[in-house]
Amino acid sequence: MAHTNMVKVLSRRGKVARTKKSMPAKKAKEKSSRAGSGSVKPIGVVTHYYGGIGVAIVKFSKPTKAGTTVTFRGATTDFNQTISSLQFDHKDIASAPKGKEVGTKVKKRVREGDQVFLAE
């Protein structure tokens, strides 16, 4: 037989017929047990990280104030932190408006593409 997914079976008249093999049902993927998965949407994304001074540049998709506790989450990143300072053009600001890229001091290394969530 040329096709590997075909099986020879005998029909009622004694002739050989070809039918497709039955494939096992696909298993549903397990949902991640990590907090923040599912319907929780990120409030920002890290666009750059300055390792020497420990500052992340974050583009926020929602207005965010200093003092807010957030979670940085990525492939190798997962930690909570309270935003202690926000800067735009080297000037301190009280809140980050939606769509602006602002700098914030971080306690651990983050990477470009890491997502920022509101901590629960």
Q: What sections of 1-120 are H helices per DSSP?
A: none
Contact 116, 66 (CB under 8 A): no
The per-residue pLDDT for 4 is: 59
Distance of CA 31 to the CA centre of its chain: 13
Contact 81, 72 (CB under 8 A): yes
Report CA-CA distances (Å) from 82 to 8, 15, 102. 66, 75, 15
Domain 44-118 has CATH 2.40.30.10: yes
What are 87-99's pLDDT values in tens digits?
Answer: 999 999 999 999 9
Q: What are the extents of the domains in the chain?
A: 44-118
pTM above 0.75, yes or no: no
The per-residue pLDDT for 40 is: 83
The per-residue pLDDT for 120 is: 79
What are 20-76's pLDDT values in tens digits?
Answer: 666 666 665 554 445 445 568 999 999 999 999 999 999 999 999 999 999 999 999
